[in-house]
Structure 1
């Protein structure tokens, strides 16, 4: 792993669950899955880690305030405010707020409701 791919543990992060939809009966083959929407706030200097993947948990992110640096494949990309990044089965990353104001994102993903 490169330097950019090693992340400290999560710090300075709060997560608020905004809504869920049980996908059983909505889409064939989605028993045990739910569509989830969360508001994630990363304080200045905060880390959303460690390095993690999104296998079986696809999603997308929209940044409401501030900027978030996404670290993946040895590359650091800054997003926000506005459209963020996709999170698919090929995503392995960690996040940080290098800015001076809290970064606030809305994250929508599909998760195993029993995990």
Structure 2
């Protein structure tokens, strides 16, 4: 993030949970973690923020339609359909849709399983 850059709050974003897998029953040492797949839609002018990291929450993103601008380390990179990126412990970013049509991504990550 650039010095003095203001990161907007989340707006114009909808998230649909598509699937989860309890990793504790699948891989030794992964108790309390789950693999999660979501479809995220960012409306034109929408922002998926605020600035957030992926420490302890690695994942990958794949763009289905539209264009998403990924802001990290002071650099804005645009990704369109068929492209994506990894999100690892060093990722600190926020996303926006600068386009005129909704942008849709599939996000797959490993997260703490919700407690009941």
Aligned positions, number: 115
TM-score, normalised via structure 1 length: 0.95
1:55-86 CA distance string (max 9 Å, x none) = 00000001100000000000000001112111
Q: Give the CA deviation at 1:3.
A: 5.1
Structure 1 residues 4 and 69: CA distance shift in structure 2, 3 A: farther
Query: Is 2:46 aligned against 1:64?
Result: no
Aligned to 1:46: 46
Aligned to 2:85: 85
For the aligned residue pairs, the C-alpha RMSD in angstroms reads 1.5
Structure 2: runs of 5 or more not aligned: none
Q: Retained in 2: the 8 A contact 1:4–1:76?
A: no
Q: Give structure 1 regions of 4+ aligned residues with deviation exceeding 6 angstroms.
A: none
- CA distance, structure 1, for counterparts of residue 87 and residue 27 of structure 2: 20
- CA distance, structure 2, for counterparts of residue 58 and residue 4 of structure 1: 27
Q: Give the CA deviation at 1:35.
A: 0.2
Q: Secondary structure at the match of 1:37?
A: strand
TM-score, normalised via structure 2 length: 0.94
1:19-54 CA distance string (max 9 Å, x none) = 000001211110000000000000000000000000
